[in-house]
Structures are given as C-alpha cells and as structure tokens.
Amino acid sequence: MSELVEKAAAAAANAYAPYSKYNVGAVVRTTDGREFAGVNVENAAYPLGQCAERTAIGAAATAGYRPGDIAAIGINASPCGGCRQWLYEWRIPEVSFRREDGTVATYSAADLLPDTWDLPAGVGSTEPDNGEGAGADGAEAAQ
C-alpha cells in the first residue's frame, strides 16, 4: 500500500519536530474508506511527544472509529515499539512503511509484534460498553 505511504510522507511536512528534526507522517484508512492523517508532535518535555501513528489513530478515534475499523495505515518511517503495540490493539491488518533504504514494507500489526502482550481474556474490553457486548461481560467479570 505505497499510496498511503506517499500520503504519509506528504503529511510529514506538517510534523512539529523542532527537537529531533525527524518529521514523520501517518495516514490511516478506515474499513469504510475514510482517511485520517497524523504527524509526530514533540514537546520540550521529551517523553510527552507523540508519534504520527498515534496522532492518526487518535483522529480516527475522535471520529468514532474503534479497533477493527481501520483497514490500513501508511507511515513514512518504521513504527517504533510503542506504536507497534497501538497498531496491534487496533487490529490493523495492513501496516505499510518506508524503510531506510526507500523500499516499502507491508506487514500485519500482529506480524510486527509477535507474542504480543494483551489483556487477559475477560479483563477490560476494546468494545464500546453498550450493555450487550464484551464491555458488559468485562464489567460483570470484575464484580
């Protein structure tokens, strides 16, 4: 999915990276065809900076999308370990990024982070708590 990687590279122009000068962009495409871009946003308190992937996923979440609703993401750099955890939680089947040598790699989020940590079954939920889904079951399990 090099098209999303190209869009991510274009989005990277808007990165706020005054400290690292390393601009990163990411674009997610939802299963219903919408796209949300994100860039890295650094902060003088360095650990508070946010990666482009998380900014893009956050934009999709703000619009109401949830894990399983994102079909693909393109990034103009290899995702960091923290972002790989996010990509895994959001169950993104197609993650494409530009390698240092300029080629595009594509993996599933699960392939990018094998033997991934996840909440044990019955603890928490990524589903909205509408009283009918796993969220309600999770609440009952906690009681």
Applying CB under 5 A, the span of 9-17, 50-58, 70-78, 117-125 interacting with Zn ion comes to 50-58
Q: What six digits make up the tokens of 61?
A: 């979440």
Q: Looking at 24-140, which runs of residues are DSSP E strands?
A: 25-30, 35-39, 70-75, 94-98, 104-107
- Whole-angstrom distance, CA of residue 88 vs CA of residue 74: 15
Q: Is 20 in the site for Zn ion (CB under 5 A)?
A: no
Catalytic member of 6, 53, 89, 94: 53
Taking the C-alpha atoms of residue 23 and residue 102, their distance in angstroms, rounded to an integer, is 15
For the record, the structure tokens of 7 come out as: 């869009």
* Least distance between Zn ion and beta carbon 30 (Å): 20
- Selected range binding Zn ion among 46-54, 61-69, 101-109, 114-122, rule: CB under 5 A: 46-54
- 53 among known catalytic residues: yes
Residue 4 binds to Zn ion (criterion: CB under 5 A): no
Q: Which of 15, 83, 109, 112 binds Zn ion (CB under 5 A)?
A: 83
Range in contact with Zn ion (rule: CB under 5 A) among 7-15, 44-52, 96-104, 118-126: 44-52
Integer Cα distance of 64 and 62 in angstroms: 5
Cα–Cα distances (Å) from 11 to 52, 116, 126, 129, in that order, read 9, 29, 28, 34
Q: Which is nearer to Zn ion, 28 or 83 (CB)?
A: 83
Contact between 80 and Zn ion by CB under 5 A: the answer reads yes
Q: Which residues are catalytic?
A: 53
Name the site residues for Zn ion (rule: CB under 5 A).
51, 80, 83
